[in-house]
Amino acid sequence: MVKCLLRLMRITNCLIIAVATVTRYVVSCSGDVFSYQLLYLLASVFLISAAGNIINDYYDYGIDLINKPYRPLPSGEISLRTARIVAVVFFMLRVLASMFTYNIYCILTSILASVPLYLYA
């Protein structure tokens, strides 16, 4: 089940986005490079990427039955209900993680970006 969830999340893509976030943070940081804010930022970015990938697969289920039957949802390894629940939980955890950055822009971006990402998928 965990392996299937990692495939559904597209873990490699999530890690690439996390590395890009760390790189951007380090380049723009003018103080202590390691901070808890960075960890919360990474969690937020990772979770939104994973949630976006999951919800995208959820809505592409019909297409993937034909074009990508090996993916976790069309193959039946993970149910549509489970995928939707995991995506919503990840979206909520993302907002929670962003709150721990204590940065109003990060919090607002987290909330405002989640809605169109969900609707776009």
pLDDT higher than threshold 70 for residue 16:
yes
- Identify whether 64 is part of a domain: yes
Look at residue 27 and tell me if it is in a domain: no
Alpha-carbon distances of 6 from 9, 46, 83, 104, 105, rounded to whole Å: 5, 12, 12, 30, 29
Residue 28: inside a domain, yes or no? no
Q: pLDDT (tens digit, 9 = 90+) per residue, 83-93?
A: 999 999 998 89
- In angstroms, the CA 121 to CA 33 distance is 34
Say how many domains are in the chain: 1
Specify the amino acid at residue 26. Answer: V
Structural domain includes residue 29: no
Q: What is the pTM of this model?
A: 0.83
71: containing domain: 2-22+34-120
Name residue, tokens 């074009």: 67
